[in-house]
Structure 1
Amino acid sequence: MQDPNEDTEWNDILRKKGILPPKEVPKEDEEEELALQQQSVVKTYEDMTLDELDENEDEFGEEDEAAIEMYRQKRLAEWKASQIKNVFGEVGEISGQDYVTEVNKAGDRIWVVLHLYKQGIPLCSLINQHLTTLARKFPQTKFLKSISTTCIPNYPDHNLPTIFVYFEGEMKAQFIGPLVFGGMNLKVEELEWRLSESGAVKSDLEENPKKQIEDKLMSSIRSSLPSRKDSDSDSDD
């Protein structure tokens, strides 16, 4: 009698018609096929970020939960390691030679705040003080400073202070000249607000501190002005 598991054209026809049962797969082949499937699933997990694992969680079966959790923990550990690695906490000094490495190639998801300054300009000194405070408050942001002409040859002094904001090597905001900063009355909270609007820092300020000062100033001016009733009384006299 012909072996039903034999690879013949006739047996294939009989299997298709349901006369013969499906060909038995040797145990070794089953294990190999299972291993290949597992490798495929593992590869799928490896290619996913934490967010993608969460988004696609419903598409995986119960048997995949252990593998998903394993790779989730792996991704989480990698993220924590990158967070620890990308802690700065101070204002670094750079030259033009460092510009590409420190600014344009700062790294993935790294915000860079670069202050171009010159010695002897009071507002530049004030901003450097404020940036030192903000660098400690926002250690995930890379704060840098550079003497303007060292970083950019022939950079005009009337453009100072200048702050450039970069994210992943692309410029996202620029603040150029003393008028932009409001002069020596600039508070550290106002600079923090400006940088938070550009995305460079995640501030806990709920509104622009400069607006609060302006509101108080206007309120003070209004209270010092004579009322309409007082004006009418003076005119009657």
Structure 2
Amino acid sequence: MQDPNADTEWNDILRKKGILPPKEKTQDQVDEEALEQQILLQQESVVKTYESMTLDELNENEDDFSEEDEAAIEMYRQKRLAEWKATQIKNCFGEVVEISGCDYIKEVNKAGEGIWVVLHLYKQGVPLCTLINQHLTELARKFPQTKFLKSISTTCIPNYPDRNLPTIFVYYEGEMKAQYIGPLVFGGMNLKVEELEWRLSESGAVKSDLEENPKKQIEDKLMSSIRSTLPTTRKDSDSEDEN
């Protein structure tokens, strides 16, 4: 019978599948991991000391650093570089891009990991479509981490009915998360950019700083205005007289 503690490829496979228990670590391995953890904690402590400095300030004071400081600073530089690259990847859009049907799979279904896509199907000459394209242009600049696309409806989906315009599809990692179809959904030409932003934030496509639905504020003001113009009923008058 094969030794379960032996360093073999077969035993590694069995451990990965949970058939064999994890191999016990030798004392040397335990000591080595403890030392690595201690060094890492020391480096993180030094990094925190210099986190308030800019990279230029770090370079200016580089001659005064010990070897431990230099190792920690290099780790910090790599951390900042990784964060910067991640930010650049996320903020790589910033505009509404026109696509055709042949671009659909690449731009939508294969947009990439962690990418939200907002696709507007429209037609020239439809006023609400034009308004939404204007709003999306503004929102694309505000939320550059989201991919905003537009496409003439019948170019993207053959025979797509005009009565369904405007249409907005929201995708995440190629999977549809929300759809807004037809003029009634958007409320007509009174649609404000903040209202569209709120709707997209509800789907998860953008991270809005709006605290509540702007349309609700308008509706509340409208109802308040209507109530103030209504004639006072007899019951209301009697209530006021009693007071």
Shared topology, TM-score over 0.5? yes
User: In the alignment, is residue 106 of structure 1 matched against residue 111 of structure 2?
Assistant: yes
Q: Deviations over 1:177-231 (max 9, x none)?
A: 1111011111111000000000111111110000000000000000000112498
- Aligned counterparts, 1:161-200, within 5 A: 161-200=166-205
**CA–CA distance in 2 between the matches of 1:167 and 1:206?**
23
For the structure 1 residues 90 and 176, does the alpha-carbon distance in structure 2 shift closer, same or farther, using more than 3 Å as the test? same
SS in 2 for 1:207: coil
1:100 Cα offset (Å): 1.0
Letter of the 2:188 partner, please give it.
G
Letter of the 1:65 partner, please give it.
L
SS in 2 for 1:146: strand
What runs of 5+ residues in structure 1 fail to find an aligned partner? 1-32, 42-57
Q: What is residue 82 of structure 2 aligned with on the other side?
A: 78
Letter of the 1:120 partner, please give it.
G
**CA–CA distance in 2 between the matches of 1:67 and 1:172?**
43
**CA–CA distance in 2 between the matches of 1:177 and 1:76?**
45
**CA–CA distance in 2 between the matches of 1:111 and 1:66?**
39
Q: What is residue 63 of structure 1 aligned with on the other side?
A: 39
Structure 2 length-normalised TM: 0.67
**CA–CA distance in 2 between the matches of 1:66 and 1:152?**
59
1:156 Cα offset (Å): 1.0
Q: What is residue 30 of structure 1 aligned with on the other side?
A: none
**CA–CA distance in 2 between the matches of 1:111 and 1:196?**
11
Structure 1 length-normalised TM: 0.68
SS in 2 for 1:61: helix
Letter of the 2:209 partner, please give it.
D
Let me know the Cα RMSD of the aligned residues: 3.1
- Aligned counterparts, 1:24-103, within 5 A: 61-65=37-41, 74=78, 77-85=81-89, 86-103=91-108
Give aligned pairs, total. 182
Shift >2 Å, 4+ stretches: 63-80, 228-233
Q: What is residue 204 of structure 1 aligned with on the other side?
A: 209
Q: What is residue 126 of structure 2 aligned with on the other side?
A: 121
Q: What is residue 156 of structure 2 aligned with on the other side?
A: 151
Letter of the 1:63 partner, please give it.
I
1:225 maps to which of 198, 214, 230: 230
Q: Deviations over 1:153-192 (max 9, x none)?
A: 1111111100011111111111011111011111111000
**CA–CA distance in 1 between the matches of 2:202 and 2:29?**
48
1:133 maps to which of 121, 133, 138: 138
Q: Which moved more, 1:174-183 or 1:69-78?
A: 69-78
**CA–CA distance in 2 between the matches of 1:99 and 1:89?**
19
**CA–CA distance in 2 between the matches of 1:181 and 1:227?**
35
1:77 Cα offset (Å): 2.9
**CA–CA distance in 2 between the matches of 1:141 and 1:166?**
10
Flag the structure with larger Rg. 1
For the structure 1 residues 188 and 76, does the alpha-carbon distance in structure 2 shift closer, same or farther, using more than 3 Å as the test? same
Q: Deviations over 1:112-167 (max 9, x none)?
A: 10000001111100100000111111111111100011111111111110001111
**CA–CA distance in 2 between the matches of 1:229 and 1:122?**
46
SS in 1 for 2:228: helix
